[in-house]
Structure 1
Amino acid sequence: MPFPTKLLNEGEHVVVSTRTHAKALVGPALVLVLAVAAVLVLSTVTDSTVVGLVAGAVAVLVVVWFVVRPLVVWSTTTYTFTNRRFIKRSGLVAKEGRTIPLNRISGVDFEIGVVDRLFGCGTLVVSDASTEGRVELHDIPDVERVQLQVSDELHRLSSGDHRDDGA
């Protein structure tokens, strides 16, 4: 899942690139199992072909909406911190992105709940000087390490140490 180098400016390099933890796919996996089980149960309980076709069509719609769509969103959404900016990108066909220059970021915090601790992830909170104020990145794997790396890069930037960006 490396960030495309063609999207980096000269002298810019990736500090951290990640996506949402795979725990976000637990719900869709359960929906898939339930949809398959429902179709199997309906197909064995009833002898009607019409009921089977309707159940199959409904199951396909449910799987596309509650399984395939979240899987595509998960696999195409990335969060990247470079030595100059934060970049959130998402989308398969229609792309969407948000960029915040590092010098506009005023803080990077993390929150880890009980369930997050079990999965080894948490929420990274990026605060900036914009009117939107903060960006919450939920279910980031190894969130404490990511927060430490980004904070270190912010400190390097604020102290005037530009050894990593070609200056």
Structure 2
Amino acid sequence: MGYPESVLAKDEHVVVHRHPHWGRLFLPAVILIVATAAAAFVAGYINTLHWQTSAKNIVFLVIAAVWLIIIGWLSVWPFFNWWTTHFVITDRRVMFRHGVLTRSGIDIPLARINSVEFRHGLMDRILRTGTLIIESASQDPLEFHDIPRVERVHSLLYHEVFDTLGTEESPS
């Protein structure tokens, strides 16, 4: 999915568009599977009991309600949060947008970036993710966590910054 063209300036082009690493969705997926299996098991057990049909139906509704709450809170919400989080590098700026109901974001012009760093531990290296740290001229360093292929993004951002500045340090 490309980033919406409506937020880009005239003649601005997207260089990189990333959602957070898919690893953020691992635990919500496990919760979805376990909660569904548990709800099915309990509903199956209740179905074997010799209760009145109306009592069974009430228990089934309670099981379904609890399942929906758990899945909505611990699986669907994290997925929407992941889906609506965007890390975008264009040929003019770095944009970060996040939030489902309340959106927030930051734009950093490439010309204002002083340094670009990345950090990733052993597990991050295995999963090919990490933290990108951007220091701009007027702010404390900003950390963007769970950026997929963080080394490649770091390199692309570094090249874009120096191409924008047009200095002798440009690596091209």
1:119 aligns with 2:134: no
2:85 to 74, 77, 88: 77
- Paired with 1:125 and 1:8, the residues of 2 have a C-alpha distance of 23
In structure 1, the gaps of 5 or more residues are 162-167
Distance in structure 2 (CA, Å) of the matches to 1:155 and 1:65? 43
Three-state SS of the structure 1 residue aligned to 2:3 is coil
Q: How many residues align?
A: 160
Distance 1:138 1:54 in 2: 38
Unaligned runs of 5+ in 2: 50-54
Tell which structure's C-alpha radius of gyration is larger.
2
The offset of 1:138, in angstroms, is: 1.5
Q: Which of 154, 157, 161 is the equivalent residue of 1:154?
A: 161
* Structure 1 residues 40-119: aligned runs within 5 Å: 40-46=40-46, 47=49, 49=56, 50-92=58-100, 94-119=102-127
* CA RMSD across the alignment: 2.0
Q: Report the alpha carbon displacement of residue 156 of structure 1 after superposing the two structures with TM.
A: 1.5
Which residue identity lines up with residue 39 of structure 1 in the other structure? A
Report % sequence identity.
Answer: 36
Post-superposition Cα deviations, 1:24-69, rounded to whole Å, max 9, x if no partner, equal 1101001101111211221133335233322221110010111111
Moved over 6 A (4+): none
**Normalising to structure 1: TM-score of the pair?**
0.85
1:69-107 residue CA offsets vs partner (Å, 9 max, x unmatched): 111111121111112111112345653321111122221
Q: How far apart, in 2, do the equivalents of 1:44 and 1:58 lie?
A: 16
Q: In the alignment, is residue 34 of structure 1 matched against residue 34 of structure 2?
A: yes
**Are 1:89 and 1:97, in contact at CA under 8 Å, matched by a contact in 2?**
yes
Using CA pairs under 8 Å that are at least 6 residues apart, name the structure with larger relative contact order, 1 or 2: 1
In structure 1, the residue matched to 2:151 is 144
Question: TM-score scaled by structure 2?
Answer: 0.83
Say if 1:61 and 1:51 are closer, same or farther in 2 by CA, change over 3 A.
Answer: same
